[in-house]
Amino acid sequence: MRRVRPIAWYTVLIGLSLVFIAPLVWMLLTAFKTPGEATRVPPTVFPQEPTTSAFDTLMGNDQTPVLRWFLNSVLAATGQALLVLAIASMAAYALARLEFRFKRLIFGMIIATLFIPSFVLIIPNFLIVDRFGMLDTLWALIIPGAAGAFGVFFLRQFFLGLPRELEEAAVLEGANSWQIFTRVVLPLSKPALATLAVISFLTNWNDFIWPIYVLFSPDQFTLPPGLAILQGAYTINYPVIMAGALIASIPVLLLFVVAQRYVIEGVSRSGLKG
């Protein structure tokens, strides 16, 4: 790497960071203001009379079990991420490495559905989910979303880029497809799997249109539809809205901070380049 002038370099980096962070910091500060102060013109930066009343409003209501929603969100997002990893990796492996009839047709169909706006699927899927008795259960949030084409597409691409030599060596040692898949391909694919897991988790965590349709009981809600109820109640109470946004965002931000090493650096450490 070439030498960089540290001062100029960090000025650029920090300047850019402000653009990304400042709105989020503003969200944080607003959550601790009073409703009046939150919309004062000219604005105050730091809360003049810091208060946690916005959080009390969110948490202190037996009609709105925020912690329960939080737990449901974690369960649904984790469940879906795991399911996607399991089924998409198998399918992607077959599509990348094995030969069989209808392979092109199946892959073509999967890719084509990437282009269909998900709205058109909502009503038919609602009826299908009902048929399986999954309405108002977390299964409705875990299973249908795992059918998305992205995971298969993404992993197939990654598998195609893996060097064949290791797999070929395994063949010579008498390994079958399943053994090659689990002992050679998957270990090599940790970074891609981590990336896909994070993306699946985020997508599920932030989805709020589908959960609003399929979940009825407050006990089954995940955070986005749950917080939507609370926020609908306080349209111009910005501290409450921002506090709700914070509760929904902080866990995923933390997840990313922890996972990003695996997601990005893993790629370069995976021995891909032999």
Tell me which residues in 177-206 interact with other proteins (CB under 8 A): 177-178, 180-181, 191, 195, 199, 202, 205-206
Q: Please report whether residue 271 would count as binding other proteins according to CB under 8 A.
A: no
Which residue's CB is nearer to other proteins, number 75 or number 206? Answer: 206
Which residue's CB is nearer to other proteins, number 71 or number 98? Answer: 98
Q: Please report whether residue 257 would count as binding other proteins according to CB under 8 A.
A: yes
Which of 54, 76, 79, 125 touches other proteins (CB under 8 A)?
125
CB of 116 to other proteins, least distance (A): 5
Q: Please report whether residue 25 would count as binding other proteins according to CB under 8 A.
A: no
For the chain, what's the residue count? 274
Q: Report the alpha-carbon angle 164-168-169, nearest 5.
A: 120
Which residue's CB is nearer to other proteins, number 75 or number 147? Answer: 147
Classify residue 245 by burial, with Cβ atoms within 10 Å: 0-12, 13-18, 19+. middle
Q: Are 127 and 208 in contact (CB under 8 A)?
A: no
- Site residues for other proteins, 204-243, by CB under 8 A, read 205-208, 212-213, 216-218, 224-225, 227-238, 241-242
Distance CA 126, CA 149 (A): 19
- Site residues for other proteins, 44-73, by CB under 8 A, read 63
Which of 48, 98, 183, 187 touches other proteins (CB under 8 A)?
98
Which residue's CB is nearer to other proteins, number 71 or number 111? Answer: 111
Packing angle, helices 238-260 and 66-97, rounded to 10: 40
Residues 6 or more apart in contact with residue 106 via CB below 8 angstroms: 95
Secondary structure (3-state) at 83: helix
**217 φ/ψ sector (left φ>0, alpha ψ -120 to 50, else beta):** beta
Which residue's CB is nearer to other proteins, number 63 or number 71? Answer: 63
